Structure 1
Amino acid sequence: MVAKISKPEDDSVDVLNLVLGERVKYKRFYGRITQDLTGRYHQYDAQKGCPSGMPPLVLRNYADTDNEADARKKSLIGLYDPAENKYPYSELEKLRKKNKLLACPLCGELGRPRTLDHCLPKTTYPEFAINLLNLVPACDWCQGEKLTDYKNDAGKRSFLHPYYDEVDRPLYTIKLEAPYLTPIISYEIRNDLPADLKVVVSSHLIGISFWERFKEYFESSYQNIIRMASDTRVAGAVTVKTAIQSAYSLQIAKGINSWDAVVYRSLLDDDAVMDFLQSGELSEFP
């Protein structure tokens, strides 16, 4: 699930200035927009990527004609695809290939994410096409699910932002409905979250199709835990609760919202399920 990650090492405004310093074509346009563009980068950071009160720049204000404004939008978006000897090629490659992540910070799927997601889409906000703070390493699936969806009816972000949001706390719980040998499994957002965070966690999970993508994983994980409980009861050295607590301690090191940590924590918080695992009939797993 979502993990908080460090901001890019390179300063986004410094990179922007390097890029603009290389511009030979369309100098009149870039000369007009540079000050406002820099101001928007600072505003983005101050607002933690929230679009509320930060509408896209009106590019016609910096161009002489409508056609020029349309063309310069393409130019701004094109900055995201630089030649190898141009800025910000190396900075983007660092985020894609040297992010040191072991899982997608948007969904938690294992494997180093190799694409970059524009938190505010570059088709809507071309001025942020190369804003490093607007670029988050993500798996292909999350990027495809998000597309250009970015804000809710209140004008705020509809997705969590791994650079800014305080997500180093339990965000959701796996729920099991009896019969516990083959339960109905679902998830729910934790009630102890602040109201604003609860809203964005909910829209985030829906927006990346979290449950549709990973429900089967959680079902399989629970069946493996039943097997572990059966083996633990046969061995008799420790209780099932102790075994699950030990497993949870190992998994939480991967992240408080890593999938397995969520599963173990959810079970430990559910007395009925724990009673079943310790004392219930596990005849399918002798």
Structure 2
Amino acid sequence: MEFMRLGAVGAEIPVARDGDAVYDLRGLTADIDGAFFEAGGIARARQAVAAGELPRVEGWEALRVGAPVARPSAVICIGMNYAEHAAESGSEPPENPVVFMKTPNTVVGPADEVFLPPNAEKVDWEVELAVVIGRRARYLSSPAEARDYIAGFTISNDVSERAFQIEHSGGQWSKGKCSETFNPLGPALVPADDLDYQNLKLGSRVNGGERQNSTTADMIFPVDLLIYHLSQYLVLEPGDIVNTGTPKGVALSGNFPYLAAGDEMTMWIEGLGEQTQRVVPAPGV
């Protein structure tokens, strides 16, 4: 089963997709958000679908697909978590997870346009496995415990402006990470127990040409370790997003041009589908 949010920006409806059938979840929840996960929404939705209690959504294919999680309180990101990406960035693999933040309002739907900031010079793509937190996590005792705090997974594109990130940053990365639309998310959330999440193929294409092609088995710090580690330093709330790093094949490597208006990005992860965005100038500037 997958969980999605369908409809116009700000008016998305929560749904569950089971095979070819899509079910309206509004009888169970107002949205797919932290409150939904905290109340055991995934299990409740499964039970309601199995019992035939939810109406089907007809013609859903014609609706816009929104981010599968509404209003995360935080988007926490891990940098240089694949050894080959660290190497192409000119860095040694980190000894501890590198952590930075994106503002929650960077999150948009998986097919929404990505806006080029007016002074952008080096806009880059990054396919990432995104963790959706299901329970409040603080001071976990071990990485093994972390699995119980994960609601599921989806695809994230950690769009980055490298000049902002590196040259304008003063040593911090957030200037290059927080422009509007810089975190397309989705199309669907897949529950954690439905995925072998540390052994998934993932990659990206730009204008149809392959850029990234790797596997989550190559992470320096595996998912469960990341959630445990983060919980020692901050409290993870239900519905929060954790972007777990990107593999090699980004423009920062020098092997590919940076993005320009009109370019098309596609991110894919095995078992999670794919997302595609078009790059356009930021409107109204």
State TM-score, norm by structure 2: 0.26
Higher RCO (Cα < 8 Å, 6 or more apart): 2
Higher strand residue share: 2
Between structure 1 and structure 2, the one with the greater Rg is 1
State TM-score, norm by structure 1: 0.26
